[in-house]
Structure 1
């Protein structure tokens, strides 16, 4: 017989076997607190089962006795190994002795539904969001499969990635499973215990909707000193979960369960549950009655006398039968890190904690950047180091443009054309403003600090896609920060801290990464298409496996950063290297097309506003360097006249003069194609070659279209130059210039097959705000009524015209609350950065469910 560990029988010597969660629950149970009963399946049962499996796959012949070897950066290989292992686990019958032991133990519950909670007894790593709980019926055929399913969580692709990232050998894992009965609840939630406050979250039914992020729970802030409510907020609770009433004998726990059951799909791991759409009057009430809230506070007060602070427990309020008084039950427990309450606070300066967030390698930056030795002249000696002991005080505060935290050496750059090979990998880039010639450096940088720019600037957009922390609008940062300073860049709150340099255990910077729970496939189908905005090859693997419908915006100018070698596309054409550039662009574009096929990839052709100003600056600099030092003033004046921007533009048949101060108003978008048709021909050749290679899922979006005439010119040239253009090839336009709002029917008549709303440019043009200027951040608001009305009009007109309408700016990710309106108005698709897919998916699901609920209510009203 297999040996299981019951909570009410645990001894202190069982700590290492059952792990922290079960041990604390057993301790509280022993003291008389209301704990949900249960038992722990120890890790040796897991390992015995793996040894029981006949691993016929040659790749797994020595498993589990040998380590798994895989390339962590090869997501497809990771998936293949994961699927192979899990196939054997789920397809192999459990040993007879284990089956007998499980049936005997579970019969003691006399329960209808069970919950299996996997976690690690050792090593002590947080596995929430990595190892998913399983909820199933308490019948043999279900719970025997359930235990195999919960064990297979250890080898999901995201789990393998997590173990490898934390340098955990799989043979070191001691996975245990806490098995408990589960019953329908009136309300459930969590309570987090800190020294100076208690934080309570509450929702209707079981707490699954909180864990899935589908609702905003009710919240309470409690003072531990006198157990009074300091603050409370009503949540947004549209969905609730409870046991499936078709498989349970108990009566309804809540009145809303009798009417508002929905057929919404349930995740594979939760087959014994039902989802309920809550009526509006129920949503407007707090889920936990005051009487039971007070009982919960009193229970918490008693528990804190037996345990230290910084812990969290889950609880449920339930009825044992219809006539019984509701009871509180503690269902889960975990300790919290000491700094959990204030995640933005800088860790203490111990070596171990600093290593967890930063880079310890030292660079002799003066040898790599000799021209930067003197860029600190005029600064007060030791100015920055006067506050080194007070590292909680930021030296700079800017706009948080890309989330994450990183600690590394700073490199201050003020030249126009820095050399990529000379920029040390993992350094923090500090600049006055991000121009296009700096963009290649971002791939080597671990963080960005820029004096100029807004949250929707190109640098911020690229930083978010690359997943590196970025702060913009950081005034005087190039004067305050010196090359070689050791900084903590906090992209979550816009703060820069000066920290002490470390000299031991060098490592690359650690950028905080949140595991995307949607990779677990625990998501509900949605009707609105969800696309990703993407431009970098290393973003492909992050997007694969997510529930997306394709690429909604592939920004070609960001995709081409490295390929262009810091030159304007016209330079390539002038140099006779057009064919070379086409080949490079085709190779890069096909990588995206192949990765997402057969899903569509909407490729936005080059919008040259990003390049024009920096190209002009670079050309002027190169020309000036050729001027003899001893030239006369007359020759100098003559030379200066020869290199005037207008003359440069005439040489290339293209003027850049209007782009240096206000790129948005300059010669870019489709207007630039009319001025220089060779630029459009370049794009036509790229798309034609990609389709010849068989990638028929690539479509075109024309950038920054100002007039119907511009579109007509582009479409006519595409039809003429690309004679064998496939019929299914689509030509869309960006809807970012306000003129499109008033002329969309005319655009459709001219042949536009879809629109992509670019909220970044649309907002600044409607409100007269420069999005690159940090000082205008407070008036750059995509939620402004004028912007929202413009978006509504575009969506409505697209519906009338029968063409798809997508929104691909930063607005849905920055302001997810607008998604309700977008869905209600009839948006066809929403496209966001990879790191915003999860929150956007959930926001879309909530919005669609609200619409379903509204329709259901209106139907009920009509029947009455």
Structure 2
């Protein structure tokens, strides 16, 4: 080696084609500095040692053959993985630096300090394997990183430890599993300026949703201090989701989800002997978001630019300088799990019979697995793990890799969606429930459990072996239809699971699900919080709305965010959002609700739907619903949202509701707003042409229409046999309103349960000439096929 010119290369001289010289991580940093810095993406300066430098170190210390011998001993069973790994690492740690290589590193470090204007600048020292970040292997976390390294001696020591980390137990095991030859993988070291994120925050972001592969969102995790805690899953971070298609419009704020994590500790700068330490966060830090909206949107725009540049979904690490406030990208690599899934082919899991819920956390993946618990508290006890068990532990880091790939599922106390446990579980195709808080306390080795990640963003561990079904299908095989087949969705947490279905939109998004599950508070109790008499409710509401001076804003923000995740799945196709349709007994069950609701003998036919919206008893609460819709459409950008009025009994009521909506900023036709009405009362059928003058479309609610046509309470057990949505009288009502709506030029669809429960009912709807059929996702495939067959029989021309 001469002059060190081939041993050290500055990031700005590297491109992604240099993986063989400096590994994927360092090549990517060079690519971003060259091509993305001009677009405003900030990347800290630094340099990389080369693969040639690694082999120079290996050969100068004469350890190549000794490394090979150690690997062979392990492969032949003469030494355990731990014994072989330890022996090989000692060869590196006891080695001496070749003088020319040491001088090259010292000179580059001095130049970096000079560029920054700081003597002995603090740097991050990160490993970059020359085979890492390939499309079929991430190598994420396989080698070591060292933060807040200062001075030449400390730098050379950290570099030596980076070389040794190429042979940690987890790295050896990973290469063996992936089929990489151990002596054909070299290690480059990236030496990069640290930013004072110990005084600010840092985290990880992906340019797709990590659980479903939904490609229109950016997922951002954030915690206080240095980013290692987020990467390793040692903290429960904040989480943000941003809808990418709207990021180019600077007037929109498309943050569709925001969750405040516990963030119980943070990593900060330490001493020369211990460069980083963890300290508890303050109460204020735990209660606060790490990022404001502007920072979230800036990071999301950067993620989109990086993804566009590389032409594939990306996994990135970011940091924020607590002194100056600027954001930087410190790493970017291809995402290696969801991006490899075959588009349109997926399994759908549905749980049937289940035992008692034991713990819950964040769902990673969407599968269901039953197995026996194996509780392993620390990495030093991993030899106790039983293959095929459900691994239960507090948290995982790369040391756990050798047993994680042998687990049936993983459950942890701590961690977020971008933690080590989450990333590895996805790559291994394992369901995981992370961040439960109590799994190691409540689950015991040997007990039979079921891990379910098929019920939304929350994952559950149930007692015993549950009954569940698995269906596999390819959405590409579904026929095209002229009749629109849409989705009934209620739960924002599960909406992204269905993005690959070729749905024509959302035919029914139930607002009340978001209110009861996410908001949990009666809107009038927020408007009139100060007059609440129920102290227990007051305390709960105060806790839920912490951080909101105006408690009404909590309702508006949460409702808009929940509905946005549903609208995002089908954008730009329409998403029909039904305004709240609680009955009085259901409203009374919300926090603070009992003080605002009358007691009714028959709530099903009482103070519900449209009658509430103009009533002095609820009008202020309805104004919050309207504010949420305005935010959803105008501030967040989801103009594909159509609003639907439920249980509208008369033309006079239609006039009143439309007037109240207009006064609240939702005027039909303004900014392209369409307003539909539910057709679920016989009067809606009888006066269909009159209702069509006030609304742009109808959606048939077959449950209520059946109940009111046949005079049968759908919840009356003794009359269950009489409740039949396929009764001739009900079919006559449906056929009649489809005809009347068509003649009046109004769109008409159905969002009731009948087509989902009885797919053959869809054929009857096609015969009637209905415009759209909206069904639950699990029946979409069957209904789509039946609709296509019915259209062929009827001779309708399918859409291409």
Q: TM-score, normalised by structure 2?
A: 0.42
Q: TM-score, normalised by structure 1?
A: 0.39
